[in-house]
Amino acid sequence: MPKRLSNTDADFETAFDSLLTASREEKSDVDGVVSGIIADVKARGDEAVLEYTAKFDRLDVLAGGLAISPDEIAEAKSACDPGLLEIMQVAAARIRSYHERQMPADLRYDASEGVSLGYRWTAMKAAGLYVPGGTAALFSSVLMNAVPARVAGVERLVVTLPTPDGKTTPSMLAACSIAGVDEVYRVGGAQAIAALAYGTNTIEPVDVIVGPGNAYVASAKKQVFGDVGIDMVAGPSEVTVVADGQNDPAWIAADLLAQAEHDTSSQSILITDDSSFGDRVAESVELQVKSLGRADIAQASWEVHGAIIVIQSMEDAPALVDRIAPEHLELAVKDPEALSEKIRNAGAIFLGRYTPEAIGDYIAGPSHVLPTSGTARFSSGLSVIDFLKRTSLIGCTADGLRSIGKGAAAMAEAEDLVAHARSVSIRLNLE
């Protein structure tokens, strides 16, 4: 059974803190292993990538065979159900439309007489998109990573796709085609991140690496950051559902299980002001989980990491949610808009009883790549901004330099940076 908490219990703070701080990933130090893989790929390039691909994915190929050819992609796309392809096209269009509205505008203005300021946004030239092969082939992740990059103006999109035993799903390659991906490679794990960051004879390096993965991928992204950009270091997926007693308990149970079936380390939390409703949801979870194809995974996630938190009033919910800072937050209440305005920390908020989190996973529009493990306190979901750079623009006429230059020179002198001061005063004939 999941954890049961009530904010009226004397030990609630201790129990709630324990829930927040409990590790949901395997307690193994992968950083050292990953560091070795990265160093090996930097030193030996394709040779190292091929060895790790054979070892971890049981796939023996020559360097040229790492690339999935356009013909293979076209063949996979033709093997897909036409109805699914049509839905994927609709999803891609919705994702594109949402992210087009995120594109920031350049700015130029006259800050004072003779001084112009501004900034310009430019896209990174190449982006590496890591798509997990893991326990489920999530072709939706291709669309959610690649479409925002293309909207931002990235010229070269590279997907690394783990293919254990050489197998992948046609839908995964079809998504690459629909999203406009330029290159696809059958390589995963830390070796894929290293290849994207530093390049090999087969895979040219990129400027930014995005997309979720396992602990090895997360560690690799942390370690290559600084040599390339990254979007975030993602942990296990999670949902918090705030629901009153006016909901159908079966609906809420389905929402909790939708997250639990991702992985045994996923977390589903229900916050409700109706204790009996919480009981009915728990009962519905036990009934529904038996019918899932990934029942064992969902059951383990729910029993080990799941929680039902009973609160006295919905007024108590925002403070708890902000402490959780969940990746996904459902507000299945009478006035979700009003409640959402009181919440600061969440990767994505799903408003109302008819907005299950799964709608955001696939077709709503915003990217489903979101901050996890409490990092919504300080970070945001994937967007076009992750593929853009902002460059400041500063221009002075002679009169403009005279108007602000003396101040700059005085500040430089106060910091004992003589050359700084001189580079201004020499233009003002102050030497």
Domain segments of the chain as ranges = 31-106+124-230, 235-380, 397-428
Identify the CATH class of 235-380: alpha beta
The per-residue pLDDT for 26 is 60
Q: What b/e sequence results for 109-122 when a residue is b if at least 16 CB atoms lie within 10 Å of its CB, and e otherwise?
A: eeeeebbeeeeebe
H/E element, 210: strand 208-210
Q: Please give the Cα distance from 292 to 294 (Å, whole number).
A: 5
pLDDT (tens digit per residue) in 78-103: 999 999 999 999 999 999 999 999 99
Provide the mean pLDDT of the chain.
94
Q: Give the tokens for residue 127.
A: 């982006």
Q: What average pLDDT does this structure show over 143-147?
A: 97
Query: Which tens digit of pLDDT belongs to each residue from 170-201?
Result: 999 999 999 999 999 999 999 999 999 999 99
* 261 is known as an active-site residue: no
Could you tell me which CATH number the domain at 31-106+124-230 has? 3.40.50.1980
- The model carries a pTM of 0.92
Q: Of 99, 262, 305, 328, which one is the catalytic site residue?
A: 328
Overall average pLDDT of the 145-153 stretch: 98
pLDDT at res. 215: 87
Rounded (10°) CA dihedral 229, 233, 234, 235: 170
- Cα gap 178→146, rounded to integer Å: 10
Q: Given this chain, do its domains 31-106+124-230 and 235-380 carry the same CATH topology?
A: yes
Q: Which of 238, 327, 330, 357 is flagged as catalytic?
A: 327
pLDDT-based confidence at 137, cuts 50/70/90? confident
> Could you tell me the sign of the dihedral formed by the alpha carbons of 359, 250, 300, 317, in that order?
positive
pLDDT at 36: 96
| Interval 123-134 mean pLDDT | 89
Distance CA 46, CA 182 (A): 20
- Is 327 assigned a catalytic role? yes
